[in-house]
Structure 1
Amino acid sequence: MSTEENKRLVRRFYREIDEGNLDAMDELVAEDYVDHSPPPFPGLAPGPKG
C-alpha cells in the first residue's frame, strides 16, 4: 500500500467514526485487531466486539 493509499484509508476510518458509521469498521479493521490504547470505558470487551 502506498503512502497516499494509507492516508486515504486512515482519513476514511476517522470520517466513518465521526459520522457514526460503525458498520464500516467490519470493512476497515482486521478481525484480529488489538487496540493497545483503548478508551477508558470499564467493561469494554477487547477486539471488534468492544
Structure 2
Amino acid sequence: MKSRFARIGQTADSIPHVNQELAMADLAFVVTTIAVFALVALIARGVTKL
C-alpha cells in the first residue's frame, strides 16, 4: 500500500520526462497559435486587396 500512495503524491516536477513533455506541449501550443494568427493576418490582407 505504501508504494501506491507514493505514486499518487508525485508531481510533474518530480518526474523529469513528464515535465519535458509538458514543456514541449506548451511550445507546440504557442507555435500553433502564432501560426494561426499569421494565417489570419495573411487572409485579412488578401481580402482587403479585393
TM-score (norm 2): 0.39
Structure with more of its chain in helix, by fraction: 2
Rg larger in 1 or in 2?
A: 2
- Between 1 and 2, higher relative CO (CA 8 Å, sep ≥ 6) is seen in 1
TM-score (norm 1): 0.39
